[in-house]
Amino acid sequence: MLETLRSKADRTLRSAAMYAYAFNQSRAKVLTDPLYLAVAKLLLRGDIPLNPKLASAKIPANLYLSYRSQSRRLAYFIEDWDFEQAKPELLTPRQRQMMHTVALGETSGAAVSDGFLRAFRTSPELAAFFGTWFTEELNHFLGYHAYLEKMGQRWPAERGLQVAATEFLPYAEDPLEVAACNMYQELLGFLVYRQFGSQVRDPFLAKMLAQFAKDELRHYKFYQQVVARQIQRDPSFRAVVLKVILKATSPYNQISGSARNVLDHLQMGAFYFRKPEYEYFLGQVEYLLGTPLRGFFDWYFQGVVAPCIHCGQAPYRCACESFEDAEAPAIRNPEWWKQARPLEGPPQFDLDAWTTELFKNAARPAAARGA
């Protein structure tokens, strides 16, 4: 009896937390942020020593300089890839749906950026990184939309514009807190793209996702070092970092159009957050906070998505090499990407023109692209 009551209370708390998640970056955050911070402080109570690796890390005062030279070595242009090789017919219904979810995240660049740059403007390191980062993210935006075109599911012109027109409420004013938010979303981008890429049967898309995952990992590592350096200076900054993680901070909360869409995207992403991703995540938490908080996160990730149909485990505990279902995902609003409000007057964000024009400027001659 007590057990049933407890699990009922647990479920209620969990679904309240999921809905709080959908609103935690709206104006309601004046109310919710202190709560998240209080929970973070509670979880970090006592004298948790700094992670020894973090404490002894020699982190340069300017991380941008080495990032820049790395970035220039690895630079590529997605239009040089041969999209004729794409085989979207090999995707499952879920994977086709997932393409829209990942494309949405990468369509938010322009909307989220003014908040980032505003917070970073007095930090030469972060402001310069912003410029390089933005260019790198454009490959993801263009690549995903070019692939949707191949899928025959190009977004209506107004859809992209609607995302861009979002009055995005900045994550925070403090540049270091914004850096922590970006760190978190780059980490999730890396983990989800990597696992999604290892599930898809289209070798072209698998390669593109692996490339994008690598880019997100590099972005993650940059921000992680910025955050680690701040923790070395001020160990209490760990509570802010944990707050950002508890909020599952990402652009989706503000660009998805409605709370039900936010939750749909959360569940689409969480499907690809399996045991390897979970363990990697805990390793990062341990590095940053000095404790993985495994017991807490075991609870936190429960019940977000249905168990794996192959092993019966919650996805974050599932170690199946291949875990896809053949079904379309059970989400509330699968056609969200077709739903665009008509926006007044030009300019329209015509993704069709973008994707067709783009390939005309590819560095490879047209013959080599099979044209």
Binding partner selected for residue 323 from Zn ion, Fe ion, none, CB under the kind-specific 5 to 8 Å limit:
Zn ion
Q: Which of 195, 93, 212, 215 is nearest to 145 (CA)?
A: 212
Question: Residues 115-154: x/- map of binding to Fe ion (CB under 5 A)?
Answer: ----------------------x--x--------------
Q: Which phi and psi angles does 366 have, rounded to 5°?
A: -55, -40
Give the integer Cα–Cα distance in Å for 319 and 274: 7
Binding partner selected for residue 140 from Zn ion, Fe ion, none, CB under the kind-specific 5 to 8 Å limit:
Fe ion
Cα 165 from chain centre = 20
CB 118 to Zn ion: min, Å? 43
CB 113 within 8 A of CB 192: no
Give the integer Cα–Cα distance in Å for 67 and 132: 9
CB 219 to Fe ion: min, Å? 4
Strand, coil or helix: what is 316? helix
Report if residue 320 touches Zn ion, rule: CB under 5 A: yes
Which structure tokens are listed for 164?
A: 């861009």
CB 148 within 8 A of CB 96: no
Which of 129, 323, 349, 359 is the binder for Zn ion (CB under 5 A)? 323
157 to 216, contacts with Fe ion by CB under 5 A?
186, 216
- Residue 187 or 318: which CB sits closer to Zn ion? 318
- Residue 130 or 337: which CB sits closer to Fe ion? 130
CB 4 to Fe ion: min, Å? 44
Question: Residues 270-309: x/- map of binding to Zn ion (CB under 5 A)?
Answer: --------------------------------------x-
Q: Which of 239, 251, 245 is nearest to 284 (CA)?
A: 245
Which amino acid appears at position 355 of this protein?
Answer: T
Give the integer Cα–Cα distance in Å for 210 and 208: 5
Report if residue 79 touches Fe ion, rule: CB under 5 A: no
- Residue 81 or 316: which CB sits closer to Zn ion? 316
Binding partner selected for residue 187 from Zn ion, Fe ion, none, CB under the kind-specific 5 to 8 Å limit:
none
Q: Residue 59: left (phi > 0), alpha (psi -120 to 50), or beta? A: beta
CB 320 to Zn ion: min, Å? 3
What residue ranges bind Zn ion (CB under 5 A)?
308, 310-311, 318, 320, 323
What residue ranges bind Fe ion (CB under 5 A)?
137, 140, 186, 216, 219
